[in-house]
Structures are given as structure tokens and as C-alpha cells.
């Protein structure tokens, strides 16, 4: 950045002096061997000097953003120290500062081909959250550089997946996803710690199998769903049959209770048919046109009243 400012400032000063030398006003006097400057070119010269001065200040001062550290090099050699966030003073020209991000960052993995215990093809993709040890960032920069993700993280994760996944049957890989994540976090954390990369967590975003195996899983799921549907239908029919049996038992019990009630009613009715009641019922059932005749006291009726009552509709 400082070199760029020096270049811009120098160009502005050169343009101002060149323009003044070729286009100064008639009669203008030179001072100290330099041509007198028109106001416009004088402003350009002042701007150029200001830019160069700012560039010079930039060679002494470095601003390290929050969440970053500065790795210092002395004529290209990495020093064993880092600069914390904030305004830092460095030696011009000799010291250069490389800004390194030490915040938690996600790193997505490309799809990795592996094999299950039965040699079924398994493809996995995932994401690793990590951060760099801010105290030892200089060592990572010295050993690997800033492109450490491609150089050390991806190969380590690839090797781990191809080593661990074959320990599981293909039917257990999905159910053991959390265990695979845990083992990956521990193994990668140990592997990458030598580069001062701290593994915060690992997520397996997608696990895929060969098309043939996925089709077999789909067919199995469809068959299981059909079995469950048939079981539900049979259960529904069983419940309906039990309901019908319960209804039939209820009807039979109701019929028995009605018959017993009717029998009790008949018995009570028979007990209530006394001689006076029968006589009264007989009289009530006689036709209106039948004349009542008087007979001498102590005489019996000419007809059997009980027989008439029983024969009456």
C-alpha cells in the first residue's frame, strides 16, 4: 500500500512540475532553479507531496483489524511474534505485516468417495468450523502459508473419512452419523493441532450411496409402507367386527330383557284378572245395541264371562 502511495504521489509531483515547466505564464520568474507554478499546478504539486507523506507514514504504521493478528516479516524472514488488533508501529521497509484472520470460520468439504464395510459406495460432504491459534499464527504462516485449507485441512479430512467409514455397515452409517462426526472432530483436531488450527466442530451435511442401493432402500421403504397400510386395514376390520359382535350381544341382551319384562307383565296381568275385573271388561266390550235386562236376584248369567273376555278381540 505504501509503495502504491509513493508511486501516485511521485506521478502527481512529476506532472505538476512538467506542466509548470512547459506552460508557465509569460514573465514568470523562476525561483531556486524551478519554474514559477501556476495555481492549478501548485495544487497538484501539494497533493502529490501529501500523498507521498501519507505513504511514508503508512510505512511506520499498520492497523490490524479486530479478529485478526499481524504476522511480521523482517526482510522476508518470519518473526516469532504476532501483532494484536489495533494501531501498530513497525520499522519501515525492513518489516512487513501479513494480516491473518483468527475468527471462527467455516470450511466446506468437497464430496468425498468412500466405501462401507460391505464395499458399498458412500459419498459424504460436510463443513468444518475452525479458527487459528492467534499466538502461533506466525508458525502456520511460516510452515504452510495462508492457503492452508487446501494444503492440510482437505487432505486430512479426506484420509479420515476413508479410514473410518469402512468400519461401519452401510445400514448403520446414517444412524451413526453423530458418532462419525465426533470421531472426525477428535481425529482432525489432533491432526491439525500441529499446524495450530483448532477444530471447533464438524457437520456432515449430506451422505449419499450408490444409485442401486438408494433404489433398493426406496423399494424397501415402499414395501414397509404397504405392510403398515395392510396392518392398519386389518386392525380396522378387527375393530369393526368387534363392534358388530358387541352390537349383536347388546341386541340379544335387549331382546332377552324385553321378553323377561313382557313375561313379568303377563304374569302380573293374569294375577290382576279377578272376577269383578272380568265382569267389567265384558260389559265394556258389549255392543251398544245390546239391551240390558234385569233378572231376579240370585240368578247366574247365562254366558261364561271369562270365556267371552278371552275371546274378545
**pLDDT tens string 1-11:** 555 554 665 56
User: Do the Cβ atoms of 223 and 217 come closer than 8 Å?
Assistant: no
State the cell numbers at 67.
Answer: 479478529
Q: Report the C-alpha gap between 242 and 245 in whole angstroms.
A: 5
Mean pLDDT, rounded, for 68-94: 90
Burial class (CB in 10 A: 0-12, 13-18, 19+), 99: middle
Mean pLDDT, rounded, for 191-210: 87
Query: Which pTM does this prediction carry?
Result: 0.55
- pLDDT exceeds cutoff 50 at 34: no
Q: Which residues contact 231 (CB under 8 A, 6 or more apart)?
A: none
- What is the percent of the chain with per-residue pLDDT over 70, rounded to a whole number? 59
Express each pLDDT in 226-264 by its tens digit. Answer: 677 667 777 777 787 777 777 777 777 777 777 777 777
- pLDDT exceeds cutoff 80 at 297: no
Q: Report the C-alpha gap between 76 and 142 in whole angstroms.
A: 10
Handedness of CA 39, 43, 48, 54 (dihedral sign): positive
Count of beta carbons in the 10 Å neighbourhood of residue 38: 16
Amino acid at each position: 500500500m505504501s509503495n502504491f502511495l509513493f508511486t501516485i504521489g511521485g506521478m502527481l509531483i512529476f506532472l505538476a512540475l512538467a506542466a509548470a515547466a512547459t506552460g508557465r505564464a509569460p514573465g514568470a520568474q523562476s525561483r531556486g532553479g524551478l519554474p514559477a507554478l501556476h495555481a492549478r499546478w501548485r495544487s497538484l504539486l501539494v497533493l502529490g507531496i501529501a500523498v507521498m507523506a501519507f505513504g511514508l507514514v503508512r510505512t511506520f504504521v499498520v492497523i490490524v483489524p479486530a479478529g485478526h493478528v499481524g504476522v511480521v516479516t523482517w526482510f522476508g524472514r518470519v518473526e516469532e511474534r504476532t501483532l494484536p488488533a489495533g494501531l501498530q508501529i513497525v520499522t519501515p521497509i525492513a518489516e512487513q505485516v501479513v494480516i491473518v484472520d483468527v475468527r471462527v470460520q467455516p470450511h466446506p468439504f468437497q464430496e468425498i468417495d468412500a466405501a462401507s464395510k460391505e464395499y458399498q459406495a458412500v459419498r459424504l460432504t460436510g463443513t468444518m468450523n475452525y479458527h487459528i491459534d492467534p499466538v502461533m499464527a506466525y508458525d502456520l504462516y511460516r510452515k504452510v502459508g495462508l492457503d492452508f485449507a487446501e494444503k492440510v485441512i482437505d487432505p486430512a479430512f479426506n484420509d479420515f473419512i476413508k479410514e473410518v467409514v469402512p468400519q461401519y455397515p452401510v445400514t448403520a452409517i446414517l444412524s451413526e452419523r453423530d458418532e462419525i462426526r465426533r470421531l472426525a472432530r477428535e481425529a482432525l483436531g489432533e491432526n491439525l493441532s500441529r499446524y495450530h488450527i483448532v477444530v471447533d466442530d464438524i457437520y456432515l451435511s449430506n451422505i449419499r450411496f450408490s444409485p442401486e442401493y438408494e433404489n433398493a432402500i426406496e423399494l424397501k421403504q415402499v414395501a414397509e409402507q404397504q405392510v403398515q397400510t395392510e396392518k392398519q386395514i386389518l386392525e380396522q376390520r378387527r375393530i369393526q367386527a368387534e363392534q358388530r359382535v358387541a352390537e349383536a350381544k347388546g341386541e340379544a341382551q335387549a331382546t332377552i330383557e324385553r321378553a323377561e319384562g313382557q313375561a313379568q307383565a303377563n304374569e302380573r296381568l293374569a294375577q290382576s284378572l279377578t272376577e269383578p275385573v272380568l265382569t267389567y271388561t265384558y260389559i265394556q266390550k258389549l255392543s251398544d245395541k245390546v239391551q240390558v235386562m234385569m233378572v231376579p236376584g240370585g240368578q247366574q248369567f247365562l254366558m261364561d264371562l271369562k270365556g267371552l273376555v278371552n275371546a274378545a278381540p
